[in-house]
Structure 1
Amino acid sequence: MRTLTHAAVAALALTAAAPAFAQALPDAKIAVVDSDRILRDCTACRAANTQLQAQQTQLETQARNAVGPLQTEEAALRTAVQAANGNPDAALQGRIRTFQQKQQQIQQQLQPQEQQLQRNAQYVQQQIGQRLVQVIQTVAQQRGATLAVSKGSTFYNAPAVEITDAVLTALNAALPNVSVTAPAQAAPAAPAPAAGTRPAPTGR
């Protein structure tokens, strides 16, 4: 008995699927959107970028104020280590450990704020991105388009198929501003007790 080769199986699959391909697709009407321009120029985008930059500047200033006093101490420790020919005594080692602990404390203090800033930026992108998709779909349908693509992914497009101005106007009306403070993260749920274990007895 002859066995089916991979080529034969593929040919049978194409034959079976032939009726599905027989149905002609409608002519596509393409709309082009300059998403980079929209994310740069939309009213909510500009306002959010300004506020996020202010948050970034504030965090950088706080970091400089916290790290500044340590720079003098770090320079003094380097000089002391060099004077000891790279072999610090116990006292100098204690100073180095104390300095490293201070560095770690500052990093721990700044880390939550850095994470919050990242979450704020992601939250802004999420709000704008969700509404932008809805607006593009609405404007494209109003123009009779069956497909909308980003201008950055095209080599050429005729001006007549671009709907960027209409999308930008509609987005400004639908989303004049966004929040630049991400919601607080929910605390992780307590792990469920393992199967077969009994709850701890309570006093009566």
Structure 2
Amino acid sequence: MRTFGLTLLTLAYPVLVYFGLGHEVEPRWLALLLVFIALMRAAFGRERVWLAAAGGALVLAALSFWGNHAMPLKLYPLLVSATLLCVFSISLVYPPTVIERLARLQEPDLPAAGVAYTRRVTQVWCGFFIVNGSVSLLTALFASDAGWALYNGVISYALMGLLFVGEWLIRKRVKAKAHDA
């Protein structure tokens, strides 16, 4: 339940920051939201990379608090994409991949073809995190607050959902082909 709440808060973060800035809440006070997320991430993160992400979030919050600037707050979605890219990339170097671990929850005896498939899906997710992080950075630097919140709080999640659904549909076809062969 704690991780669900943290995930929900992280998903809502861009919209919360946007509404806070729109209601003239100073960025230094919005930074407290990022401090809370960072402390929760540090408390519940099991892997070092999540502790590093929590540390990065605290640095962004401190920069925003002391300078009273919104830019560090707007860089948090980039930090999330970079962290996920690290997690997925590291799993490519030190298998099993993230996607293979998830697949083995449903199919513990995953065949070699399934392992290869999950490796490819992990690579696709790495590509997604590179593109998503890049667009997130561009919106933080060049878009209005509304444009930044729209991409980071709506569009990026819709794209993730499309990737999930697309992969699920492809997986069904791949499994059916393998079953017929």
Q: TM-score, normalised by structure 1?
A: 0.29
Question: Which fold has the larger relative contact order, with Cα–Cα distance below 8 Å and residues 6 or more apart in sequence?
Answer: 1
Larger fraction in helix: 2
